[in-house]
Structure formats: structure tokens, C-alpha cells
């Protein structure tokens, strides 16, 4: 059983755990089943704030219910809109922004993130990050359009000036069956 090099979702979670502090303001651009939102809500504590975007009301409803059960709803602000519009709702500087691209597990697979809106959103997300803020993006390549989206994300991030941000790719290069890829960005 692997403990350290597990999978991108777990690696992203551990980066969040190490980085996010009480009182931080953070953003989950793809709430989905709420795993990242709930984790972030715990990390920012009572004095912090989590913004959460999803285009599917069912995702926001289920995540709201989970947060309510854990008494964490007071610090989470849901926005039922596409993440390409984050700048219409957020003007504060953010410590961390997370994307988990693709479709809602257990939901309608035809409703998924797409390269055009994802790149539009990423451009805005980087501007909203504070200095030394982190951006985490997990890309899935097994579904239709997933590979293309990952390539677009990679091309966009690869072109960021290294004086502006450092970009890492976490890629399981010996795994079969299209393993997900995690990108990590630290803004200067």
C-alpha cells in the first residue's frame, strides 16, 4: 500500500493541509462532492473564509448539507456560477485556489469543465492570488475532452514567466490507464 506517492488528489490535500492556516481566505473553483471544500473549511477555521463555485446546484446542495452536519457552514460562501466569473464575486487576495477538473463523480458526465472556461478562470485566479499564494489543479485525462483540457492547462501554465510564478507538474509516469495529473503553482 502506497503512503506518500499515492494519487494527485491526496497529494493536493496534503499540500493544502501543510499550507492553509486559520484565518486564510481560499477558493474552491469546482465544489463537486465537496471533499476539497470541507477540507478547506476545517483548515481556515472560524475566522477564515472559503468561496466555492459550481455550475450544478445539486453539487452545492449536497456539499452544503455535509458542511451543516459538521458545523462548518458559517465560513463557506457558495456561488452557483461558472468559475470563469470569479472576479465578479471576489476582490480579496486569496491564499490558495483549488481546481479538480472534469465531471461530478456519480453525476451527469456530460456536465464537465472545458478548456476555454478553465483557461479564462485560471487567468483570473492567478491575479486573485496573494504573493506566495498557491494554485492547485488536478486534471483527469480518461474522459472525452480530458486530455485536451490537460494539454491546454499545461500549455498555459508552462508559459507563465518564472519571475511571476513557479509551476510544478506531478505526473505518475509509470502508471497505465490515464492517471490524473496535478499542477501546482506558487505565485511570486
What residues numbered 81-140 form the site for ligand SAM, per CB under 6 A?
82-83, 100, 102, 104, 111-113, 117
Which residues pair with residue 137 across a beta bridge?
Answer: 99, 183
Q: Which stretch binds ligand SAM (CB under 6 A): 14-22, 28-36, 43-51, 162-170?
A: 28-36
CA 156 to chain centre: 16
Q: With binding defined as CB under 6 A, does residue 24 bind ligand SAM? A: no
Based on CB atoms, which residue is closest to ligand SAM, 69 or 132?
69
Q: With binding defined as CB under 6 A, does residue 149 bind ligand SAM? A: no
Q: Which stretch binds ligand SAM (CB under 6 A): 15-23, 48-56, 148-156, 179-187?
A: 48-56
Based on CB atoms, which residue is closest to ligand SAM, 25 or 104?
104
Which residues pair with residue 171 across a beta bridge?
Answer: 181
Based on CB atoms, which residue is closest to ligand SAM, 113 or 141?
113
Find the helix or strand (DSSP H, E) in which 31 lies.
Answer: none
CA 178 to chain centre: 20
Based on CB atoms, which residue is closest to ligand SAM, 68 or 188?
68
**Shortest Cβ distance from residue 28 to ligand SAM (Å)?**
7
Residues that bind ligand SAM (rule: CB under 6 A) add up to a total of 20
Pairing type for strands 181-187 and 129-139 reads: antiparallel
Q: In the numeric block, which cell numbers belong to residue 90?
A: 471576489
- From the list 46, 100, 95, the residue with the least C-alpha distance to 70 is 46
- From the list 1, 7, 66, the residue with the least C-alpha distance to 32 is 66
- From the list 93, 77, 180, 78, the residue with the least C-alpha distance to 137 is 180
Based on CB atoms, which residue is closest to ligand SAM, 121 or 132?
121
d(CA 105, CA 53): 16
Q: With binding defined as CB under 6 A, does residue 141 bind ligand SAM? A: no
Point out which residues bind ligand SAM (CB under 6 A): 30, 32-36, 53-56, 59, 82-83, 100, 102, 104, 111-113, 117
Amino acid at each position: 500500500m502506497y503512503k506518500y506517492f499515492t494519487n494527485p488528489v491526496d497529494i493536493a490535500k496534503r499540500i493544502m493541509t501543510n499550507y492553509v492556516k486559520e484565518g486564510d481566505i481560499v477558493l474552491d473553483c469546482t465544489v463537486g462532492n465537496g471533499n476539497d471544500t470541507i477540507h478547506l473549511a476545517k483548515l481556515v477555521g472560524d475566522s477564515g473564509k472559503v468561496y466555492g463555485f459550481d455550475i450544478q446546484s445539486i453539487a452545492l446542495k449536497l456539499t452544503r448539507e455535509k458542511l451543516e452536519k459538521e458545523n462548518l457552514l458559517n465560513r463557506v460562501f457558495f456561488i452557483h456560477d461558472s468559475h470563469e466569473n470569479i472576479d465578479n464575486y471576489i476582490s480579496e487576495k486569496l491564499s490558495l485556489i483549488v481546481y479538480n477538473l472534469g465531471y461530478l463523480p456519480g453525476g451527469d458526465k456530460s456536465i464537465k469543465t472545458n478548456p476555454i472556461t478553465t483557461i479564462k478562470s485560471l487567468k483570473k485566479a492567478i491575479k486573485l492570488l496573494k504573493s506566495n499564494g498557491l494554485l492547485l489543479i488536478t486534471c483527469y485525462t480518461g474522459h472525452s475532452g480530458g486530455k485536451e483540457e490537460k494539454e491546454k492547462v499545461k500549455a498555459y501554465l508552462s508559459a507563465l514567466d518564472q519571475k511571476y510564478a513557479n509551476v510544478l507538474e506531478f505526473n505518475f509516469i509509470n502508471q497505465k490507464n490515464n492517471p490524473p495529473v496535478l499542477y501546482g503553482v506558487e505565485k511570486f
